[in-house]
A and B are shown apart, each in its own frame.
Chain A
Amino acid sequence: MSARRIAAVVLRQLYLLRGSPARFLPLFAWVAVDVVLWGFITRYLDTVVPARLGLATALLGAVLLWDFMVRVIHGVAMAFLEDVWSRNFLNVFASPLTVGEYAAGLVATSVLTSAVGLAVMVGLAGAVFGLSLLAYGAALAPFLLVLFLTGVAFGVVAAAVVLRHGPAAEWLVWPIPALLSPFAGVFYPVATLPGWMQAVAAALPPSYVFEGMRAVVAGGPVPWGALATGAGLALVWVAAAAAWFVAVHRRVVRTGLLARYSAESVS
């Protein structure tokens, strides 16, 4: 792996962000809207349910953590889609840049873009609604780590889907978080779900984060064992997503789709 080549992928994205408010604004605009919306909902709910339930920390915190993961997914996917939109594949893939370096560049870009979103969310939630993520104590770090790794995995999956099925598959990228959220138990305990959905939830690292978050908010101990399981699962997802992206790249080189990408199919 060449750090300089990875930095080149990141630099390209930074140039795009620097010169385009249309790209920079969405890094935090929608998450800010979410925080405001859910902030007022929790403020209202706090007036009608007993305060000891800690709704602000549970609900608004859940929104904040979930939005962080969504930003990571979109950060990876958007960086990839920039090359789709500018028809840059030949320039990128006919260079010494390896697929691994390219993917690492997308992930590194996402670290930067999701950090912007997280900073705005934390600032807004703290200043307007009095929520501090520090309320989660030492569990905050594993919460963020597991969600970041999961976001990376699904961002890479999204990029692989578009690489495999052509530019029109872009629409498959955006609903990925919405498809995951019912299973991940963002707003309710996983036990609320029917059996088959619980089985799916068990394979999704975020479900361990949100179960853990509710346990901490309820005053219980941090479920380190469950969080370790979530982290392990997230690493498996990242490895599987990376392997799939590499396999898809090999396939599109073999079939000829990469060289004729705008055709969407070579069959």
Chain B
Amino acid sequence: MATPPPILAVRGLTRTFGATVAVDGLSFSVGPGEVVGLLGPNGAGKSTTIDMILGVLAPTAGTVEIEGLDVGRRRVGALARTNFAAVSSPLPGNLTVAENLRVFGMIYGVPRLGARIEALLEAFDLGRFRDARCGVLSSGEQTRVSLAKAFLNEPRLLLLDEPTASLDPSAARDARARIRARVAGGQTGVLWTSHNMREVEEVCDRVLFLSRGRLLLEGDPRALPAAHGAASLEELFVRVARTPLDLDQESAP
């Protein structure tokens, strides 16, 4: 059976800031029905990569395609198929939950928006906060609102930047289940950044380890630690963070 075309295709992505190379020739893809973890220590280039995928930062070189649409040249079409939730970018705190969902639902061209908002309020247990301003919600509640916004347009590509960082264990489990359910339909691909390695092992089908802007390791999060002599994904993460050059040589052909 032919492999379905990727939902996200990143090729030779590079970004420099002056003499600093933040992302260095990064290439990877995310397929339909796949959850890919983008891992790496602070400053590895994860946020810069996500910014370029979202079109708010121009690459120095390379391309990003979402369902075959180049983000640089066919931005509207590409981003209409995408959505994201990031702890660093909460929705405006001076609008209510329902107002935010309505505004962004219109921006993403969501059909039958009223019914969609109701469904998401229920799905993310936000019904009682419908008329509350987002700024007065707890950080966990705000994260759930961001996730609801990210699901508004039933995106083909979902970018999640530490989506469960502010959630209590119960809410985090619900959120992971909801995301997995969305992916199980086979229409959506997810790029997930997290520093919670147990969560990554549970959720991700594949992980990409970045270090100093380069892709250092790639593989199944459950098999990768053993393949590199680490007891767990967390231990492998620590090694990537502390001695990326060793792993670089190890993974070289």
B168 contacts A by Cβ under 8 Å: no
Most buried by A among B18, B106, B107: B107
A12 contacts B by Cβ under 8 Å: yes
- Are A11 and B106 CB-contacts (below 8 A) given A94-B84, A266-B17? yes
A129 contacts B by Cβ under 8 Å: no
Whether A96 lies near B80 (C-beta < 8 A) is yes
Whether A91 lies near B109 (C-beta < 8 A) is no
CB A263 to nearest CB in B, in angstroms, measures: 11
Contacts of B86 in A (CB 8 A): 90
B136 contacts A by Cβ under 8 Å: no
The A-contacting residues of B in range 85-100, CB under 8 angstroms, are 86, 88-89, 91-96, 99
B108 contacts A by Cβ under 8 Å: yes
Contacts of A94 in B (CB 8 A): 54-56, 79, 84
Whether B106 lies near A8 (C-beta < 8 A) is yes
The A-contacting residues of B in range 15-74, CB under 8 angstroms, are 15, 17-18, 47-48, 51, 54-58
Residues 114-153 of B, flagged 1 when their CB comes within 8 A of A and 0 if not, give 0000000000000000000000000000000000010000
- How far is B55's CA from A140's CA once the two chains are assembled, in angstroms? 45
Set A5, A93, A259: member contacting B106, Cβ < 8 A:
A5
- How far is B191's CA from A252's CA once the two chains are assembled, in angstroms? 25
CB A142 to nearest CB in B, in angstroms, measures: 34
- How far is B181's CA from A212's CA once the two chains are assembled, in angstroms? 67
Whether A259 lies near B57 (C-beta < 8 A) is yes
- Are A15 and B51 CB-contacts (below 8 A) given A259-B56, A259-B57? no
- How far is B79's CA from A90's CA once the two chains are assembled, in angstroms? 12
- How far is B47's CA from A90's CA once the two chains are assembled, in angstroms? 12
Whether A5 lies near B56 (C-beta < 8 A) is no
Contacts of B77 in A (CB 8 A): 96
B228 contacts A by Cβ under 8 Å: no
- Are A86 and B92 CB-contacts (below 8 A) given A11-B103, A256-B57, A259-B57? yes
A-B contact count (CB 8 A): 85
Residue of A nearest to B93 (CB): A86
Contacts of B57 in A (CB 8 A): 253, 256, 258-259
Contacts of B176 in A (CB 8 A): none
Residue of B nearest to A13 (CB): B103
Q: Report the contact-size class of chain B (Cβ under 8 Å from the partner).
A: 35 or more
B102 contacts A by Cβ under 8 Å: yes
Contacts of A93 in B (CB 8 A): 55-56
Residues 94-110 of A, flagged 1 when their CB comes within 8 A of B and 0 if not, give 11111000000000000
Whether A5 lies near B107 (C-beta < 8 A) is yes
Set B51, B75, B109: member contacting A2, Cβ < 8 A:
B109
CB A6 to nearest CB in B, in angstroms, measures: 9
CB A5 to nearest CB in B, in angstroms, measures: 5
CB B106 to nearest CB in A, in angstroms, measures: 4
- How far is B39's CA from A45's CA once the two chains are assembled, in angstroms? 74
Residue of B nearest to A89 (CB): B56
Whether B95 lies near A253 (C-beta < 8 A) is no
- How far is B56's CA from A108's CA once the two chains are assembled, in angstroms? 24
Whether A15 lies near B54 (C-beta < 8 A) is no
Q: Which chain A residues have a beta carbon within 8 Å of chain B's beta carbons?
A: 2, 4-5, 7-8, 11-12, 15-16, 19-20, 82, 86-98, 253-254, 256, 258-259, 266-267
25 cross-chain CB contacts under 8 A: A5-B106, A5-B107, A11-B106, A12-B99, A82-B92, A86-B93, A86-B94, A87-B89, A90-B54, A90-B56, A91-B92, A92-B107, A93-B55, A94-B54, A94-B55, A94-B84, A96-B77, A96-B79, A253-B56, A254-B58, A256-B15, A256-B17, A256-B51, A258-B56, A266-B17
**New A-B pairs, 6, CB < 8 Å, besides A96-B80, A256-B57:** A4-B109, A11-B102, A12-B92, A20-B94, A87-B89, A93-B55
